[in-house]
Structure 1
Amino acid sequence: MSDNHGNTPAAWTAVTVAMLGFVVGAVGLMLDPISWVILWVGIALGVGAFVLFLVMAKLGYHESTH
């Protein structure tokens, strides 16, 4: 296990974008009728958060020195 416990810029950014994706997706589900476009935008944001984390980790933002 790493010493930083996820307290890195890459982790915080990915979690923030993923939370935004969950909120957008939830709003799409609560609309009447369900807005499939908004739901899929939320899902895309969730997947994008994982990709963003991988890119930022490769750039060195997932190290305890930052």
Structure 2
Amino acid sequence: MSNKSATSSVAATVQEPMDHSVELGHGNSPAAWTCVAIMLFGCIVGCIAFVIGESATIVFWAGVAIMVIGLVTGMVMKKIGYGVDGSKLKNNGH
């Protein structure tokens, strides 16, 4: 048995303090909300398929397809300016 302490073999890592002044955005935009709403609906459809049973394979895959549609919708809306700091959301004085 070794006389070394257990803590001597563990390398001490020093973490730099986090900068909390940086705005993260958190996706609070029409594109994000639309994406989440559509994907939530797709998840509900998929969950209903699990409750129905084995004959609901098509309903399950329809739920998966709805979730993919929600993801694509969110990306398209972000691209056309409805994402965080998007061009459609900036106040231009009108």
TM bin, normalised by shorter chain, reads 0.7 to 0.9
Name which of structure 1's ranges 18-27 and 32-41 shifts more when overlaid on structure 2: 32-41
Structure 1: runs of 5+ lacking an equivalent: none
Aligned AA for 2:67? Answer: G
Deviations 1:20-45 (A, max 9, x none): 00000110111033401110110001
Taking only aligned residues, the RMSD between alpha carbons, in angstroms, comes to 1.8
Residue 28 of structure 2 corresponds to 7
Shift of 1:51: 0.5
Residue 23 of structure 1 corresponds to 44
Larger % of helix: which?
Answer: 1
Higher relative contact order, chain-length normalized (CA < 8 Å, sep 6+)? 1
* Runs of at least 4 residues off by over 3 Å: none
Distance in 2 separating the partners of 1:58 and 1:33: 39
Q: Could you state the TM-score of these two structures normalised by the residue count of structure 2?
A: 0.62
Give runs of aligned pairs for residues 1-66 of structure 1, distance below 5 A: 3-64=24-85, 66=89
Q: How many residues align?
A: 66
Structure 2: runs of 5+ lacking an equivalent: 1-21, 90-94
